[in-house]
């Protein structure tokens, strides 16, 4: 039986109340940080609407014919639209098929549910085609749009969906869930911060060794500050980690450094190795410099994920040279 993640109960309660009152809208836009479980929530909602014997608060019974068909992945009243290949666009033909499907009667006399994920992958023609369905929705049908980047959706689409937002979670509920998944991991709060508050992403990052990568980067930033390091060699080393992983980790590093600077958490009792590195790095910089580093890393990250073939070595070297120039400024000020 499908179970919700514990940090999703507020949104679930809100939708259950709408279902009970018969006021579920025709289109929902689920949005939130990566790894917050949007697809899973959408699957739970679809299961609840299609289930033949749903309980008052449970997701779906898990045993009726409808639930068994869902589990097998071939329920006739659920349609899931995804890109043909990961990272590709959702094209207009897929949305036209979806429109044909959603206007047919439900085979089991309940809802017809369609999921589009990630909704921001729709190209312009696909989005225009969907707009007509959103303007004239069929009866007992629900469209669930899922997106980690809702800002990339046309305003006309967003304004016709009820928005359900899943904020990033850093609290005890998320940490306890994560601890139950990661067993003896000692730095749950750190890995959750690295995942920008997406617990499922945190599991992925932990398994991919991102904690070690972050510690390596912090050690390298520290060393290049105190001794001076050859940017070419360091960039070559970072290339082995992977440019996106490096910039993603650095985004977390500078975001946390700016928070430490603002909160002046010098006497923080949490003495994880990451906190110790961050506290030492923060000391020699002012807030403007930390934010400038964050902005540069963000810009480089988007350049690295963009459509143009980039010089990875050059992009990494640029950042390292900039980082070292901040130390130079600091030393000049001291003299
Ligand atoms: Zn059921």
| Structure tokens belonging to residue 204 | 């992925």
Name which of 34-38, 107-111, 138-142, 162-166 the model is least confident about. Answer: 107-111
The mean of the pLDDT values for the chain is 88
Residues facing 143 on adjacent strands: 27, 114
CA of 50 to the centre of ligand 1 (A): 7
C-alpha to C-alpha distance for 313 and 83, rounded to whole angstroms: 31
Give the pLDDT of residue 308. Answer: 75
Ligand 1 center to 33 CA (angstroms): 29
What residues are neighbours of ligand 1 (ion), with CB under 5 Å? 51, 60-61, 64, 67
Place 328 in a pLDDT band, splitting at 50, 70 and 90. Answer: low
Among 149-158, 222-231, 261-270, top mean pLDDT goes to 149-158
Among 101-110, 263-272, 312-321, the range with the most confident prediction by mean pLDDT is: 312-321
Report residue 313's pLDDT band, with 50, 70 and 90 as the boundaries.
Answer: very high
At residue 189 the predicted structure's pLDDT band, cuts being 50, 70 and 90, is confident
Cα–Cα distance, 44 to 254 (Å, whole number): 36
pLDDT of 108 strictly over 80? no
Q: Is residue 38 scored above 60 in pLDDT?
A: yes
Centre of ligand 1 to C-alpha 14, Å, is 21
For the cut 80, the answer to whether the pLDDT of residue 156 exceeds it is: yes
For the beta carbon of residue 291, count every other beta carbon within 10 angstroms: 16
For residue 25, report the distance from its CA to the centre of ligand 1, in Å. 22
| C-beta pairs of 12-20 under 8 Å, 24+ apart in sequence | 12/41, 12/44, 14/164, 15/45, 15/164, 16/48, 16/57, 19/48, 19/49
Q: Does the N-terminal peptide bond of residue 97 adopt cis geometry, omega within 30 degrees of 0?
A: no
DSSP assignment string, 278-325:
HHHHHHT--HHHHHHHHHHHHHHHHHHHSSS---HHHHHHHHHHHHHH
Mean pLDDT of 136-142: 82
pLDDT score at 57 = 62
Beta strand residue intervals within the chain, DSSP E? 27-32, 78-81, 112-116, 141-147, 162-166
pLDDT score at 333: 57
How many angstroms separate the first and last alpha carbons of the chain?
Answer: 67
Rounded-to-integer distance, Cα 291 and Cα 275, Å? 18
Q: What is the CA radius of gyration of the chain?
A: 24
Q: Given pLDDT bands bounded at 50, 70 and 90, which one contains residue 115?
A: very high
Average pLDDT over residues 20-25: 89
Count Cβ atoms within 10 A of the Cβ of residue 110 and give its class: 0-12 exposed, 13-18 middle, 19 or more buried.
middle
Contact at 8 Å (CB) between 147 and 115? no
């Amino acid at each position: 039986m499908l179970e919700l993640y514990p940090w999703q109960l507020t949104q679930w309660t809100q939708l259950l109340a709408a279902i009970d009152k018969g006021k579920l809208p025709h289109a929902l836009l689920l949005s939130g940080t990566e790894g917050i479980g949007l697809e899973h929530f959408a699957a739970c909602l679809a299961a609840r609407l299609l289930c033949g014997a749903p309980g008052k608060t449970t997701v779906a019974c898990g045993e009726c014919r409808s639930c068994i068909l869902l589990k097998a992945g071939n329920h006739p009243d659920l349609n899931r639209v995804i890109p043909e290949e990961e990272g590709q666009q959702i094209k207009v033909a897929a949305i036209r098929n979806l429109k044909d499907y959603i206007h047919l009667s439900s085979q089991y006399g309940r809802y017809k549910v369609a999921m589009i994920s990630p909704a921001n992958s729709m190209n312009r023609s696909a989005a225009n085609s969907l707009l007509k369905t959103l303007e004239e929705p069929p009866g007992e049908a629900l469209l669930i749009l899922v997106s980690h980047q809702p800002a990339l959706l046309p305003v006309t689409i967003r304004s016709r969906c009820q928005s359900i937002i899943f904020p990033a979670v850093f609290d005890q509920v998320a940490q306890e869930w994560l601890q139950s998944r990661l067993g003896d991991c000692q730095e749950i709060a750190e890995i959750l911060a690295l995942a920008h508050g997406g617990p499922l992403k945190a599991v992925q990052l932990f398994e991919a060794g991102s904690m070690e990568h972050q510690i390596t980067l912090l050690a390298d930033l520290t060393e290049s500050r105190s001794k001076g390091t050859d940017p070419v060699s360091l960039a070559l080393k970072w290339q082995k980690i992977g440019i996106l992983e490096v910039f993603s980790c650095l985004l977390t590093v500078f975001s946390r450094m700016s928070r430490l600077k603002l909160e002046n958490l010098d006497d923080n009792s949490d003495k994880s190795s990451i906190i110790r590195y961050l506290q030492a790095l923060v000391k020699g910089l002012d807030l403007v410099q930390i934010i400038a580093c964050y902005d540069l890393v963000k810009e480089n990250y988007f350049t690295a994920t963009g459509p143009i073939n980039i010089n990875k070595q050059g992009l990494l070297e640029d950042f390292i040279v900039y980082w070292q120039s901040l130390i130079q400024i600091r030393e000049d000020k001291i003299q």
